[in-house]
Chain A
Amino acid sequence: MTPNEAAGTADLMTKYEASGATAAAPAGSRWQSVVSDVSSDQRVFKGVPWGKPMMWIFLLSDTFIFGSFLVSYMAVRQSTRVPWPNPSEVFGLTVFGHSVPLLLIAIMTFILISSSGTMALAVNYGYRRDRKTTFWLLLATAALGASFVCMQAFEWTKLILEGVRPWGNPWGAAQFGSCFFMITGFHGTHVTIGVIFLSIVAAKVRRGDLDRQRPGFLTGRKGNYEIVEIMGLYWHFVDLVWVFIFAFFYLW
């Protein structure tokens, strides 16, 4: 390399660095926060209570489970040569002589969204250390969740009485039943576990465990209002999954 070329390269380098530094400064500072978080040889998500990333990672794995269910439902529905039953009619209800499409499903959707709303408020009041309001909001969330499960049980009963089975149904493609029971069943299980989880957290809030930092029954960790937010992440996720099920299974 001649001195001239070397000087040229050095010149380019400084130019590159200069332009990189000036152009990327606003965006780069946010990226730099990611880089410094993961490369610091310490805990990764700084300032975040560790229970929260743990719940998020669990929810990430759950995302893949529900994602796999929905993708396999798509594959099964696309590959059958028998017409798919029309969900709008299958899940319709007759009210006062009028048949309303998807009525029960719509009500279930609104109930789950409302429970998400009360959950978000509960997290907020928890951090304000308003024990009473937090307890009642958590209880309302659990009650809405329980009513959702009841409606799902009603829906299952209705369909089973109409002859839907995992291996067949009166209206069309046999795969309809297995997809329906698998997807809504797994989601309903999540809601049920969520209701139990909510009741436990609500009891803890009411008893004042979180204010007095009483050690937990299973983990022995000190009580803390962060558990309300972590519970909230799980509950919102259940609502989130329902958004996708509602769109892909009931409306498609």
Chain B
Amino acid sequence: MEHAQESHAAGQHEHQQHPLGIYFKIWGLLFVLSTASYLVDYFHFEGLLRWSLIVIFMLLKAGLIVSVFMHMLWERLALVYAIVVPPLLLIVLLGIGALEARYTFDTRGTFFAPAATQPAASH
């Protein structure tokens, strides 16, 4: 966070200039996380373990890319909030989608599945 203070003090047009080492470290971390998420599939983890590992690795990777590669860690807070907060609305869409999908799934079960089994049952 030292760079942040420096760059904010620097004045009119602050450039995002950070030591090269941090990019290499993040690069390496992204490789490790990608390998880990690939191994989740390779070793056929199933159920809750699989989903939680996939989501954790995914969020860590996304966070590293946005905060370091895209320099969000060092941006003005006003810019960070303007960009990072609105996508949270997608959670609402996600909820609506999940509810609707559930309903469609049940409706298909009620109206389509019995019709398919009817000829066999009437025999």
Whether a CB of chain B sits under 8 angstroms from the CB of A252 is: yes
Inside 8 A of A248's CB, which chain B residues have their CB? 58
Given contacts A71-B90, A75-B97, A236-B65, whether A247 and B81 have CB atoms under 8 Å apart is no
Q: Bound state CA distance, A247 and B105, in angstroms?
A: 23
- CB of B101 within 8 A of CB of A74, answer yes
Q: Bound state CA distance, A225 and B54, in angstroms?
A: 37
- Whole-angstrom distance from the CB of A25 to the nearest CB of chain B? 16
Whether a CB of chain B sits under 8 angstroms from the CB of A117 is: yes
- CB of B66 within 8 A of CB of A48, answer no
B34: contacting residue among A34, A46, A56, A106, CB under 8 A:
A106
Q: Bound state CA distance, A223 and B75, in angstroms?
A: 23
B23: contacting residue among A78, A102, A120, CB under 8 A:
A120
Inside 8 A of A81's CB, which chain B residues have their CB? 105, 108-109, 112-113
Total number of A residues with any Cβ neighbor in B under 8 Å: 65
B37: contacting residue among A30, A46, A246, CB under 8 A:
A246
Total number of B residues with any Cβ neighbor in A under 8 Å: 61
Report A158-189 CB contacts with B as 1/0, cut-off 8 Å.
00000000000000000000000000000000
Q: Bound state CA distance, A110 and B109, in angstroms?
A: 41
- CB of B13 within 8 A of CB of A114, answer no
- CB of A124 within 8 A of CB of B17, answer yes
The interface centre, meaning the residue of A31, A124, A233 with most chain B CB atoms within 10 A of its CB, is A124
Report A192-234 CB contacts with B as 1/0, cut-off 8 Å.
0000000000000000000000000000000001100100110
- Whole-angstrom distance from the CB of B29 to the nearest CB of chain A? 10
A60: contacting residue among B61, B83, B105, CB under 8 A:
B83
Inside 8 A of B109's CB, which chain A residues have their CB? 81
**Which of A2-10, A16-24, A237-245 is the contact stretch?**
A237-245
Using CB atoms, name the residue of chain A closest to B15.
A127
- CB of B41 within 8 A of CB of A88, answer yes
Given contacts A64-B87, A75-B101, A124-B18, whether A243 and B76 have CB atoms under 8 Å apart is no
Whether a CB of chain B sits under 8 angstroms from the CB of A44 is: yes
- CB of B34 within 8 A of CB of A110, answer yes
Whether a CB of chain B sits under 8 angstroms from the CB of A63 is: yes
Using CB atoms, name the residue of chain B closest to A31.
B77
- Give 22 A-B contacts (CB < 8 Å), ordered by A residue: A33-B77, A38-B78, A47-B13, A48-B75, A49-B13, A60-B83, A60-B86, A60-B87, A67-B87, A67-B90, A71-B90, A75-B98, A79-B101, A88-B41, A101-B42, A114-B27, A120-B68, A121-B20, A226-B15, A246-B58, A247-B57, A252-B51
B: residues with CB less than 8 A from A are: 8, 11-18, 20, 23-24, 26-27, 30-31, 34, 37-38, 40-42, 44, 50-51, 54-55, 57-58, 61-62, 65-66, 68-71, 75-79, 81-83, 86-87, 90, 93-94, 97-98, 100-102, 104-105, 108-109, 112-113
